């Protein structure tokens, strides 16, 4: 049964960073803007790390991208975990 607006947490999240190598630079930068948002929303240490690794992120260095993605996923999971039904979840937009 499909219910409009129903929310069910995923059983798993798969993030294959190899896909990022296929993106045009503009799309990669757009995604990185989302990553920066998580640092700016309250994780000062992550924000500092992003600043220190900005060139490697834009260049698509895999280990650096993987770390940024993992930290962003943890941040988003923490937001959802606090209250999965919160509407609107402005911090996730």
Q: What is the pLDDT of residues 30-69, one digit of tens each?
A: 999 989 998 898 789 999 999 999 999 988 888 999 999 9
Boundaries of domain holding 59? 35-92
65 part of a folded domain: yes
13 part of a folded domain: no
75 part of a folded domain: yes
Tell me the whole-structure pTM to 2 decimals. 0.74
Q: How many domains does the chain have?
A: 1
CA 7 vs CA 36, 80, 85, 88, 91: distances in Å? 26, 11, 7, 13, 17
Distance CA(11)–CA(35), nearest Å, equals 22
């Amino acid at each position: 049964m499909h219910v409009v607006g129903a929310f069910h947490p995923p059983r798993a999240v798969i993030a294959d960073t190899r896909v990022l190598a296929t993106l045009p630079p503009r799309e990669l930068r757009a995604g990185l803007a989302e990553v920066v948002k998580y640092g700016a929303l309250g994780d000062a240490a992550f924000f500092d790390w992003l600043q220190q690794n900005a060139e490697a992120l834009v260049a698509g260095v895999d280990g650096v991208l993987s770390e940024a993605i993992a930290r962003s996923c943890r941040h988003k999971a923490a937001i959802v975990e606090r209250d999965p039904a919160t509407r609107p979840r402005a911090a996730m937009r």
